[in-house]
Amino acid sequence: MMKVTILGSSSAKPSAELHPSAQIVNIDEQYFLVDAGEGVQQQMFRCGINPLKLRGIFISHLHGDHVFGLFPLLSTLGLYGRVMPLRIFAPQPFGEILQGFLHYFESRLGYEIEWTEVDTTAHVPIFESKCFEVWSLPLRHSLRASGFLFREKPAALNVDKFKIERYGLNICQIVAAKRGEDVILDDGTVIPNSELTYIPRRAVSYAYCSDTSFSAKLAERVRGVDMLYHEATYAEDSRSVAAERGHSTASQAAEVARRAGAGRLLIGHFSSRYKEPQILLQEARAVFAETEIAVEGRTYEIK
């Protein structure tokens, strides 16, 4: 099961109501932080998420509203007594910034940080476990930036217990069926694998795309994604400003979702000029009906 909790949904300027970009992606109780704007650890506490559960952190780019909350969080993990290494995926020159932080503030952190450089020009797998993988997504921003595609691997086949009883299958036959093979009974009867097995649940996917101007190629790379988070910093009347600053309008975000054939679209990273983001939601829904606003503190289950 995959879930996403929104910790922050605003763009650069601070706000009394909203927080800078940060999310938690939960895949079968494996927690990953995606971007770390200022105040991210307080937001985790408010949402009941234990920072010690973090398996890894993905940073899209090195603008402050996406990374200023990371270093206080790293210090807090040390105070909590974390000993398990923490993997961080981020573009250059994150390594230089990390070394400065460790040198001046946390020379004895208590756990290792394993940094993996993200090539912001390549769409490649950067993390893999037995049940899911994460791919980089090149973005079009004012500096090197990458989105992230979280994709579950297909679940293993299950064998119907009633069919086991019906055909009197032995262990070897059950194992063969789980491998996807047809089963041959003792009398020579061939039972098609499709009659014996079923997929317990469909594999799902989630794409995080912030910050970026409109990209048709991005839509191709996330084709068929179940949920797409795409920045929607501006309304359509500010399209030229969005292009100049490497951002998207709400309708452009919706166009990416439409071209990708996404199941749902979450929009966020709103400019502080919009006191109420409903205008952005309306513009996006005019292009892609299955659009929602990314609400801070809310958890979205991806089905």
Q: So which residues are the catalytic ones?
A: 65
What is the distance of C-alpha 127 from the center of its chain?
A: 12
d(CA 51, CA 263) in angstroms, rounded, equals 30
Structure tokens at 21: 């970009």
d(CA 295, CA 8) in angstroms, rounded, equals 8
Q: In whole angstroms, how far apart are CA 39 and each of 6, 8, 66, 111?
A: 13, 9, 11, 22
Q: In whole angstroms, how far apart are CA 189 and each of 172, 182, 245, 295?
A: 16, 10, 66, 56
The set of residues, in sequence order, having a beta carbon less than 8 Å from that of 254 and lying 6+ positions away, is 265, 267, 283, 284, 285, 286, 287, 288, 291
Other Cβ atoms within 10 Å of 282 Cβ, number: 13
Q: In whole angstroms, how far apart are CA 191 and each of 71, 181, 185, 198?
A: 58, 9, 8, 14
